[in-house]
Amino acid sequence: MINTANRNLLWASILADELVRCGVRHVVVSPGSRSTPLAVAFSEQPEIKVHSVLDERAAAFFALGIGKASGMPAVAVCTSGTAAANYFPAIIEASESHVPLIVMTADRPHELRDSGANQTIDQVKLYGNYVRWFVDVAPPHANPEDRTLRYLRTTVDRAVAASQGSNGGPVHLNIPFEKPLEPVVIAEDVPESVVASLGAQGRMDQLPMTVFPPKWASTTEIGQKAYQFAERLEGHGRGLILVGAGCEMDSGVLAWLSQMMGYPVLADALSGVRYGSSPSNSVLTGYETFLNGMFVQQMEPKVIIQFGDEPISASLLQFLGSQQTARRIFISESGSWEDEFHLASDCIEADASDLIAAFRDLVNAGDFAPAPCPEWLSLFQQAERITQEETRSLLDREAVEGGILRDVIDALPKDAVLFVGNSGVVRHLDQFVPAQSKRLHVYANRGASGIDGNIASALGVSEGIDQPAVLVIGDVALYHDLNSLHLIRRLNIPLVIVCINNNGGGIFHRLPIAEYDPPFRDLFVTPHGLTFEYAAAMFDLPYTLAQMGEEFRGVFKSALESGEPHLIEVPSDAAVFEQQRRELMDTVAEKLAALIPVS
């Protein structure tokens, strides 16, 4: 529906109509005066679900969560001034994690820029290189040419296309409006000739003005890349396969590659490999624990194949940085650089599943003969077995902070949605939860790994995938995004939150600065002494304080079964947990030392 009350509403409603034609279904609006035409236009689109979010920072992270889960950009709409600046953290995260997002910032008209006018800042290219595309949209004017209105539609088409694809991310449309901003009828603004134009009405078939089909690599191109891949593997039986976050690949194809080459798979907690495929004994998850001591000193791979993003594990990253002679092959669909050590020998831009399938064709045709090393794979499998046995033994006899994530995963039903906060929580998931066949949808904001906006992002994921979600978050991250608790009731999303409260920045206990107190306690851990019972009451959320172990498991199970939102707070001692974690790693290292052949 095109609103022709005045030039502002014409502009805004054409933009909204074209977004609908491109498949956009979610718009997140924060209240403000200058963005009134956009808010009105989106409210008049029956195909659009408009979410009203008061806090712009939360609004942007909520929109990011929708894009992360659905694969389609949500649109974030705000007024001018610092409202737009509050979008920046979520835009950085969307850029770094290739999440589709469209930001529409309303702006003052050009004559008010750099004039001292109230609530006017420089919004041109406000987000710098963190957006895939920026447009300072042509200002609305009376009796516009048809070409101008077609320009509005193609700008939307290009914005949606730029936000998606292998190198997708945020797009910024800055839209100036002059008063009146409300749907006041101004007859001379939009004559009948304009109303009937192609630009105003759009294509009769309801398609976008311009369609951008997805880019597909040709069979010949994939075949050439598979041949390059095969050449790099020739004669190397000692290899590793790393699967990081952001790698959507067929688990069956990956299992074939691992079996054929005899390479263990190190599956990141946020990879699609860890939860949902039939775990084989070559899919390993205990590497954060076992990649240390004599074991890591003796294991020298000849080839390292990396799919997806850099891993979470500090032990694995340290191991990778030490392997300077191994051929390191990085496969990326987006072509983005994911090698902080600058040791990549080959970067292949391709869909992972397509590349492995083409490589399998070479093997089946006899053009490549793998030479696996059974002893190599066996050592890693034994390391995994010992790690999982010792981890299970620790969790059975002691209350362990990292075990909370294991309890959560065990209790979640098949196809459940889990969002994990950054800092310590996502590392607990990576280290303490093994692979399993139960399919789960696991998300985190690991593009920039910030602790801001985690609640809003989890809510957005729940909305984007259209099912309830669980968020496990640390106390500092919860404190950072406390405003977003308001969205649970406002948007009617039954989020279950598990807050691990270790009274400050527990992750800093892993760093060398922990040995220097002061300043460690006051400047790094920064204990706050807060609990969240009154925060839950303020936002009308059921709240339970539960101790680790049986009490937490019972409360969490009940919260899941209720179908209602719930905030569960689990107290912990970060210093005690870090001691437990290090003792586990030392025990495993000691047992693995007996496996290493004496040279």
Q: Which of 213-222, 263-272, 538-547 has the lowest mean pLDDT?
A: 213-222
Q: Is the pLDDT of residue 473 over 70?
A: yes
Q: Are strands 239-243 and 265-267 parallel, antiparallel or unpaired?
A: parallel
**Confidence grade of residue 278 (pLDDT, cut at 50, 70, 90):** low
Q: Report the run of H or E that residue 361 belongs to, with start and end.
A: helix 352-364
Q: Where are the domains of the chain?
A: 7-201, 219-385, 402-572
| 102-149 per-position pLDDT tens digit | 999 999 999 888 888 888 899 999 999 999 999 999 999 999 999 999
pLDDT tops 80 at residue 599: no
- The order of strands in the sheet holding 303-307 is 283-284, 265-267, 239-243, 303-307, 327-332, 346-349
pLDDT in tens, 500-535: 999 998 898 888 888 898 898 888 989 999 999 999
Residues 287/316, Cβ–Cβ less than 8 Å:
yes
Question: How high is the pLDDT of residue 595?
Answer: 79
For the segment 167-191, what is each residue's pLDDT rounded down to a tens digit?
899 999 999 999 999 999 998 999 9
Q: Are domains 7-201 and 219-385 of this chain identical in fold?
A: yes
Q: Which CATH number fits domain 402-572: 3.40.50.970, 3.90.1150.10, 3.10.180.10, 3.40.720.10?
A: 3.40.50.970
For 413-417, what is the mean pLDDT? Answer: 96
Tokens describing residue 154 = 């193609």
Quote the DSSP letter at residue 402: T
Q: What is the pLDDT of residues 534-561, one digit of tens each?
A: 999 999 999 999 999 999 999 999 999 9
SS3 content of the chain, % helix, strand, coil (to 5): 45, 15, 40
Q: What is the pLDDT of residues 26-54, one digit of tens each?
A: 999 999 999 999 999 999 999 999 999 99
Measure the CA angle with vertex 443, ends 441 and 449; round to 5°.
165
Q: How many CB atoms lie within 10 A of CB 226?
A: 24
More confident of the two residues 75 and 595: 75
Residue 475: name the closest of 573, 576, 575, 579 by CA.
Answer: 573
Q: What's the CATH fold of domain 219-385?
A: Rossmann fold (3.40.50)
Residue at token pair 């974030």: 76
pLDDT band at 279 (very low <50, low <70, confident <90, very high): low
Using a pLDDT cut of 90, give the percent of the chain over it.
78
* Residue 504: half-sphere exposure toward Cβ, Cα within 13 Å: 15
Tokens of 242: 């790393």
Q: Name the band, by pLDDT with cuts 50, 70 and 90, for residue 585.
A: very high
Report residue 355 as tokens.
Answer: 């590349």
The pLDDT tens digits for 314-352 are 999 999 999 999 999 999 887 778 888 889 999 998 888
The tokens describing 204, both together, are 């009769």
Q: How confident is the model at residue 272 (pLDDT cuts 50, 70, 90)?
A: confident
Query: Cα-flanking dihedrals φ and ψ of residue 187, to 5°?
Result: -60, -40
d(CA 272, CA 258): 16
Look at residue 541 in the predicted model and tell me its pLDDT.
Answer: 98
Dihedral sign, Cα of residue 414, residue 417, residue 421, residue 427: positive
**pLDDT, tens only, 356-396:** 999 999 999 998 888 889 999 999 999 999 999 999 999 99
Rounded Cα–Cα distance for residues 128 and 544 (Å)? 43
Coil, strand or helix at 280: coil
CATH architecture of residue range(s) 7-201: 3-Layer(aba) Sandwich (3.40)
Per-residue model confidence as pLDDT tens digits over 437-466: 899 999 999 999 999 999 999 999 999 999
- The span from the first CA to the last CA of the chain, in angstroms, equals 77
H-type helices in 527-573, by residue range? Answer: 533-538, 550-562
Go through the chain and tell me how many residues it has. 599
Taking the C-alpha atoms of residue 330 and residue 533, their distance in angstroms, rounded to an integer, is 46
Residue 91 binned pLDDT confidence (cut-offs 50, 70, 90): very high
Selection from 313, 167, 326 nearest residue 244 by Cα: 313
Q: How confident is the model at residue 282 (pLDDT cuts 50, 70, 90)?
A: confident
Tell me how far apart the alpha carbons of residues 454 and 460 are, in angstroms, rounded to a whole number. Answer: 10
Q: Is the peptide bond before 180 cis (omega within 30 degrees of 0)?
A: yes
pTM of the model: 0.94
Q: Which residues make Cβ contacts (< 8 Å) with residue 345, sequence separation at least 6? A: 232, 327, 328, 329
The tens digit of pLDDT for each residue in 147-173 reads: 999 999 999 999 999 999 878 999 999
In whole angstroms, what is the distance from residue 286 CA to residue 589 CA?
12
If we measure between CA atoms, which residue out of 239, 316, 322 comes closest to residue 285? 316
As a whole-number percent, the residues of the chain with pLDDT over 70 amount to 98
* Whole-number average pLDDT of the chain: 93
Residue 597: what pLDDT?
65
Residues 254, 249: Cα–Cα separation, whole Å: 8
Q: Specify the pairing of strand 170-176 against strand 469-474.
A: unpaired
